Amino acid sequence: MSHKRVAILLSGGGSNMVSLVDSMTGAHPARACLVLSNDAQAGGLQKAADRGVPTAVVDHRPYKGDRPAFEAELIKPLLEAEPDIICLAGFMRVLTGDFVSQFQGRMLNIHPSLLPKYKGLHTHARALEAGDAEHGCTVHEVTAALDDGPILGQARVSVEPGDMPETLAARVLTWEHKLYPAVLRRFASGDKTPVLLS
């Protein structure tokens, strides 16, 4: 059986990347082919290397103010890796519509809120400020609009009394680690039915 090839883009610690890579064993229809970061210091790079996944870095900083120039570099290692599926996993750069359209229908993102609520940053603080009883995370297909696109899965998480943004973020993250692998497994097998966890 030939596996679907998955490239994972990250900017930070890479705990979601780890959960994805570690899930792709045995009968799973996909395997990781590349972990790509915009930051050479991202902790996820070492974790990928430890797992035998090829890594690459394209620093966004020399391209300040010129997203297309950054993306022209970012796409090189990505195309070389010949991915079937691209997973954004804590990748903190906004991608242009031009870039996204090249991978439309095969690029996924995880976002730490119950979309369409709280697109963008500071999602946990915003959920607490709003007094929400429930919060969570969403995996969706990436389209040109930020944190938009068809929803492929959601995990709902209770907000507890005394929660701070950090405690809520940590609770949501444990669910991200269940949701993203479950969605990827289903998506890689050609099934876009949403995965709903709670």
Stretch that binds ligand GAR, among 9-17, 23-31, 156-164, 185-193 (CB under 6 A): 9-17
- The minimum distance between CB 68 and ligand GAR, in angstroms, equals 21
Q: To which residue do tokens 């064993």 refer?
A: 25
Per the CB < 8 A criterion, the answer to whether 90 and 12 are in contact is: yes
Stretch that binds ligand GAR, among 12-20, 66-74, 98-106, 149-157 (CB under 6 A): 12-20
Joined tokens for residue 48: 């990928």
Report how far residue 3's alpha carbon sits from residue 27's, in angstroms, rounded to the nearest whole number: 10
Report how far residue 45's alpha carbon sits from residue 31's, in angstroms, rounded to the nearest whole number: 17
Rank residues 112 and 181 by Cβ distance to ligand GAR and give the closer one. 112
Closest CA to 80 of 101, 115, 43, 55: 55
Task: Decide: is 15 part of the binding site for ligand GAR (CB under 6 A).
Answer: yes
Is 135 assigned a catalytic role?
Answer: no
Map residues 76-115 to x or -, x wherever contact with ligand GAR holds by CB under 6 A: -------------xx-------------------xxx---
Q: To which residue do tokens 């031009």 refer?
A: 98
Task: Decide: is 142 part of the binding site for ligand GAR (CB under 6 A).
Answer: no
User: Looking at the annotation, which residues are catalytic?
Assistant: 111
